[in-house]
Structure 1
Amino acid sequence: MTQVRPPLTLRDVSEAARVSEMTVSRVLRNKGDVSEGTRQRVLEAAKRLGYVPNKIAGALASQRVNLVAVIIPSMSNMVFPEVMTGISEVLEETSLQPVVGLTGYRPEKEEKVLYEMLSWRPSGVIIAGLEHSDASRAMLRASGIPVVEIMDVDGTPIDSVVGISHRRAGQQMAQAIIRAGYRRIGFLGTKMPLDHRARKRFEGFTEALAKAGIEMANHAFYSGGSALLKGREMTAAMLQETEDLDFLYYSNDMIGAGGLLYLMEQDVDIPGKVGLAGFNGVELLDGLPMQLATMDACRLEIGRKAAGLIAARATVDAGAEAAPVRIALEPRITLGDTLRQT
């Protein structure tokens, strides 16, 4: 983890682009008569350095507003609303207000959202994940603003980090399944090129199986559409492809719930013939006829801890350096009704 550096200035960009500060200002404000070659040189230098224009320059002595930029992939599932609840609970006791930007799991969208939010010089940034584009990492490092990456601790953070080890979570679930006596195991989840946390759980899960001498019997991935419907469809297809499966591990509770409903309709003995488990510990599913085995992702606590770090840093002088903090929370497995008790 690295110390937060002072924010970049127009002079830094002008020196890198070998032009005057006035020229840099004109280019970034898209005003004035500047040649295309010079404009491209300035924009390239600004992107390489991670420079973001300050829209409140000169307006406030602190050069910061009482906003906390919260950058997350989505609000359409049950994961991030609970994180936001934790953030809001802590910040409402301060003068800080959260402002949310959504990235849709797309690095290029994250760059755009980050650029706009940093231009207002918030008092802090809370951003999901540890994987970002080079441009996004440059902007975060160069901002001089406290940054807390959330949800995941498997990697190298820019500043502070709060989350769980998703690789370890996958390993722990695999070990619980093995202890319960299951051996023919299938995995169903979201497509993973951009869902890094699901990928790490899958890697940890398969590593633990391999260590026990078990090869995953089948796996399937999906993107888009209703998670419940996808869970039903994928479960039916996988059981047809691999008839001797005795356990299905889902990358999240929502597709797991779809699989559970399908198996109950087929009068399958759960967890005797087929066991199931998901991930996230979504309370919405507590009303199902059977409780799905799952793992709590500590979402509420992640939000609270991250907001607490930002609030504490906001009380420190903007120019003062603070040591980065790493908070790794420990999720817990709930066996429910779909994983045999051991």
Structure 2
Amino acid sequence: MVFKYQAAVTLAQVAEAAGVGESTVSRVLRNHGSFSGKTRDRVMAAVERLGYVPNRIAGTLASAGSRLVAFVIPSLSNIVFADVLRGAGGTLEENQHQAVFAVTDYDPEREEALVASMLAWRPTAVMLAGYEHTEGTVKMLRAASCRVVELLDVDGVALDLAVGFSNRAAGRESAHFMLKRGYRRIGYVGHDLDRDTRAGKRYSSFRETLSSDRMPLVDQEIHAGASSVEIGRLGLERLLARSPDLDAVYFSNDDMALGGYFHCLARGISIPSQLAIFGYNGLDIGRVTPQPLSTIRTPRVAIGQVAAQLVVANAPPQVVDLGFQLIEGATA
């Protein structure tokens, strides 16, 4: 799929599609003045169909708006996204761009609402996590005149620019590593895989790789909410209560894996001789635990840097795969 630039949908285009005047469209969108319910329905149908976003920046403020780069990210409690912002910040600042951000809490409907809010300020670019968005979000992004950058994934079709790595490959490599180490009774502890689609891709690929080697996943414990160290500890406790003979556990990320590590320390479970632990992300804390965490290290800061460079350079549509690094550590 090739991203095609197009001018932002205008008020005049909405008016023409709705069969009314521009002033009527303006009144409807501001919910001010006189208009019938039927007229409102026609106008809002045209807005929805065209993906129109009202422009809140007028006159002399328009040039200021063009310097904004909007980040719509799932979380700030997860250091992954803070690292991406840190990587992008320097490049944007050096080139007189201003970063603004909003947090979706992994909710696609909230992402759609926040993208609409950000586009109303006519940013020069919108950066989002992953490829999975609602139909409404995609429609708005395609109708906007700004650049779109999808971060932290390359498993899919990009709208414009994408910078990241293959989550499917990360799951596959994690499984290969554990199989080569001789682990045969492997379990999984993770968080909400429907909302965190990148974790879902890693999980699916990990499980498929085990099955292709005739070593299916023995058991799993998946928490319906967000990930955390505490949830990782509780998840491993519940998993081992059902399947005490597991010899290895794959966690959806390092936060969860560290929780599992702490559970083992508290219960006197020897790592990795009794139970191997493998994470994902390569967080700094995992390198300084008594036994460095076995994990996948992702280039989060570099992803932010490259994404910002592409926006500043107004680069042609492309996908940049920065890869990842498997860290053997000492827990698996």
Q: Mark yes or no: TM-score above 0.5.
A: yes
Residues of 2 paired with 1:112 and 1:330: CA distance? 31
* Match of residue 322 from structure 2: 329
Residues of 2 paired with 1:252 and 1:91: CA distance? 29
SS in 2 for 1:98: strand
Residues of 2 paired with 1:226 and 1:176: CA distance? 23
Alignment of 1:100-115 (within 5 A): 100-115=101-116
Post-superposition Cα deviations, 1:34-54, rounded to whole Å, max 9, x if no partner, equal 112211221222122111011
SS in 1 for 2:79: coil
SS in 1 for 2:199: helix
* Match of residue 267 from structure 1: 268
* Match of residue 87 from structure 1: 88
Alignment pair present for 1:162 and 2:136? no
Alignment pair present for 1:171 and 2:172? yes
Cα shift at 1:226: 7.2
Q: Percent identity?
A: 41
* Match of residue 68 from structure 2: 67
* Match of residue 47 from structure 2: 46
Residues of 2 paired with 1:259 and 1:14: CA distance? 58
Amino acid paired to 2:235: M
Residues of 2 paired with 1:118 and 1:127: CA distance? 13
Extract unaligned runs of 5+ from structure 1. 314-321
Post-superposition Cα deviations, 1:119-156, rounded to whole Å, max 9, x if no partner, equal 11111111111111111111111111011111111111
Cα shift at 1:272: 1.7
TM-score by length of 2: 0.96
Alignment pair present for 1:238 and 2:239? yes
Alignment of 1:110-125 (within 5 A): 110-125=111-126
Aligned CA RMSD, in angstroms, stands at: 1.6
Residues of 1 paired with 2:327 and 2:310: CA distance? 29
Q: Verify the 8 A CA contact 2:229 2:259 in the aligned structure 1.
A: yes
Alignment pair present for 1:8 and 2:5? no
Q: Verify the 8 A CA contact 1:281 1:294 in the aligned structure 2.
A: yes
Q: Verify the 8 A CA contact 1:57 1:63 in the aligned structure 2.
A: no
Extract unaligned runs of 5+ from structure 2. none
* Match of residue 197 from structure 1: 198
Residues of 2 paired with 1:63 and 1:18: CA distance? 33
Residues of 1 paired with 2:30 and 2:140: CA distance? 18
Residues of 2 paired with 1:25 and 1:117: CA distance? 20
SS in 2 for 1:76: coil
Amino acid paired to 2:60: A
**More deviation in 290-299 or 13-22?**
13-22
Cα shift at 1:61: 6.5
Residues of 2 paired with 1:294 and 1:66: CA distance? 38
Residues of 1 paired with 2:224 and 2:304: CA distance? 26
Amino acid paired to 1:266: R
* Match of residue 185 from structure 2: 184
Cα shift at 1:92: 1.7
Cα shift at 1:266: 2.1
Amino acid paired to 1:21: E
Cα shift at 1:13: 1.2
Residues of 2 paired with 1:61 and 1:163: CA distance? 31
Residues of 2 paired with 1:75 and 1:61: CA distance? 29
Residues of 2 paired with 1:63 and 1:289: CA distance? 50
Post-superposition Cα deviations, 1:244-300, rounded to whole Å, max 9, x if no partner, equal 111000001011001011112222221122111011111133332221111012111
Give the paired residue count. Answer: 331
* Inter-CA distance 21–129: structure 2 relative to 1 (3 Å threshold): same
Q: Verify the 8 A CA contact 2:176 2:209 in the aligned structure 1.
A: yes
SS in 2 for 1:122: coil
* Match of residue 297 from structure 2: 296
* Match of residue 253 from structure 1: 254
Q: Verify the 8 A CA contact 1:105 1:195 in the aligned structure 2.
A: yes
Cα shift at 1:214: 1.1
**More deviation in 63-72 or 159-168?**
63-72
